[in-house]
């Protein structure tokens, strides 16, 4: 399973590197995504913020407007270049790193990730949430946005894969397998609560927003 995860995650990264120029299209095509960007104003973004998988920086300037500082991390240099061009704030620092290996060198008041949780293989979720908890300062929160089960209608799901997987196609005709775990908000709430997190998830039409505070033992 671990080798399967590694190969799939390498293909997933290759997709985002090759498709960086196409990354922003859904934000121009779907009103829900544009509306979702505005939800940052209603979420508890504050203090020093760690943004995981910042992509092309759709969310980064909005985080910077509410934060003291933003550390934005992504594995793809092509998307990071676009994020830097989009973000003028001197309070933002960009870091290229593999999120499955990188460990934050300090703690933050907010850890934010948009459309990243669904790209984490299920077997790696406990380690991911442990990393998030370890990155949070006392009183800090994880804030996240992602696709819910209804988003399956827009995906090409692949059967008989040990990890939930979809097929993505780029303009050059290339095809890439990508991890896509469409979390049900109720199940996600239950699973995180069982791990000691305090969770509030708000379902939307095809997406959801979440706020989670880590188990007390980790802060």
Domain residue ranges in the chain: 2-218
Name the pLDDT band for 74 (thresholds 50, 70, 90).
Answer: very high
Closest residue by Cα to residue 87 from 75, 103, 107, 71: 71
How high is the pLDDT of residue 10? Answer: 96
Q: What dotted CATH number matches 2-218? A: 3.40.50.150
Q: Look up the pTM and report it.
A: 0.94
% of the chain residues with pLDDT over 90: 86
SS3 string, 42-84, reads HCCCCCEEEEECCCCCCCHHHHHCCCCEEEEEECCHHHHHHHH
How high is the pLDDT of residue 217? Answer: 61
Evaluated on CA atoms 191, 196, 197, 202, the torsion sign reads: positive
């Amino acid at each position: 399973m671990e080798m399967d995860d590694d190969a799939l995650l390498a293909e997933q990264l290759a997709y985002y590197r090759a498709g960086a120029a196409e990354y922003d299209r859904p934000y121009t095509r779907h009103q829900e995504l544009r509306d979702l960007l505005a939800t940052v104003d209603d979420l508890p973004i504050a203090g020093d913020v760690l943004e995981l998988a910042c992509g092309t920086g759709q969310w980064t300037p909005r985080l910077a407007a509410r934060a003291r500082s933003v550390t934005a991390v992504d594995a793809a240099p092509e998307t990071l270049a676009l994020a830097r061009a989009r973000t003028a704030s001197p309070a933002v620092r960009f870091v290229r790193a593999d999120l499955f290996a990188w460990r934050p060198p300090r703690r933050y008041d907010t850890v934010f990730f948009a459309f990243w949780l669904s790209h984490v293989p299920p077997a790696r979720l406990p380690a991911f949430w442990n990393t998030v908890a370890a990155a949070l300062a006392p009183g800090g929160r994880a804030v996240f946005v992602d696709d819910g089960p209804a988003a399956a209608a827009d995906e090409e799901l692949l059967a008989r894969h040990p990890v939930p997987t979809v097929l993505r196609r780029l303009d050059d005709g290339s095809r890439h397998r990508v991890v896509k775990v469409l979390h049900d908000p109720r199940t996600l709430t239950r699973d995180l609560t069982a791990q000691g997190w305090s969770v509030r998830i708000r379902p939307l039409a095809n997406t959801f927003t979440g706020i989670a505070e880590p188990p007390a033992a980790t802060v």
